[in-house]
Structures are given as structure tokens and as C-alpha cells.
Structure 1
């Protein structure tokens, strides 16, 4: 069972929290809220997304790269996919 299914409830809770933060940011911009409050909201969203990424990435690494029952070639392919995703995320 994939790690995203096992922790589905927790992940969805995080995503919904991020969605709420993005909605709050949109309202703040519409209401012409002070710049410092907008910046703080953006930083909070970034932190929440980073936390979500870390949680999903850790589960992926543990399930796919630490799985001794998977063939070496499959683990190498999974590693390359993770590297590609990280490079894209860190741009």
C-alpha cells in the first residue's frame, strides 16, 4: 500500500490547511491588507508546502528506496525520479 494512501487523512488535512491559507492570502490582497501581513501569510504558506513536501518525500524515500524486496534497477529508477522532482521543486 503506497505511503500516500496510508497517510491520506493527514496529507489531506495539510492540503486543506494550505488551501485555507491561500484563500486568506487572496482575501488579504483583495482588502489591500498591509504588506507585512501579506508577506507573513506568504511565508506561512511556503512553510506549509515545504512541510507537506518533506512528509511525502520521506514516505516515498522510505517506501521505494529502502525497500530491499524491490529490484536494484527499480530502486535506481525511483531514485532518478526523486532527484528530478527535487531539482524541479528547488528551482
Structure 2
């Protein structure tokens, strides 16, 4: 997980923003705010999570699939793991 360690501060900042957005969504639901405002907040959270996922995925691919010295078998295992993760994420 070296790629995540390199970008730890930036990743944690993203996560904290997502937590703030989720908290705002909770408040909006509790206060029975307008449906459109709630839907917009949900869309913003989804976009933030997608951005975080893309950043982590790119780092993982570069660090693990792009690593020098991997055997064809090791690279295939990495590819299968990524494919499984993407299928799960896309559900």
C-alpha cells in the first residue's frame, strides 16, 4: 500500500470531506429538507467517493501492475484482483 502512504494527507482530506458531506446529508434528512437538495447532496457524495476510488485505483495500478520484476503469473493475479474489485464497485 505504498501508493496510499505517499498520498496519505491528500486521501485523508478527501475522506474528511466525504464525512462532512455525509453529515450534511444526515442533517438535511433529519430536517426534512427539499428532495432536490437531498438528491444533489447524494450526487455530490457519490462524485466524491468516485474521485477517491479513481485516485486509489490509479495509484494501485501504477504501483502494483506497473511494478518492475513481476512475473506473468503475478501480474495476472493483480489483474484478476482489480477486475473483481471493479465488478464489485460497479454494482
**TMscore range, shorter length:** over 0.9
> SS where residue 32 of structure 2 aligns?
coil
Aligned-partner SS, 2:38: helix
The normalised TM-score by structure 1 is: 0.96
Instruction: Tell me how far apart the structure 2 counterparts of residues 66 and 35 of structure 1 sit (CA, whole Å).
Output: 45
Partner in structure 2 of residue 41 of structure 1: 41
Q: Does 1:60 align with 2:64?
A: no
Deviations 1:3-42 (A, max 9, x none): 0111111101000100000000000000000001000000
Superposition deviation, residue 68 in structure 1: 2.1
Deviation at 1:81, TM superposition (A): 0.4
Which residues of structure 1 form unaligned runs of 5+?
none
Taking only aligned residues, the RMSD between alpha carbons, in angstroms, comes to 1.0
Counterparts of residues 1-91 of structure 1 (less than 5 Å) = 2-91=2-91
Which runs of no fewer than 5 residues in structure 2 stay unpaired?
none
Per-residue deviation at 1:66?
1.1
Deviating 4+ runs (over 2 angstroms): none
TM-score of the aligned structures, taking structure 2 as reference length:
0.96
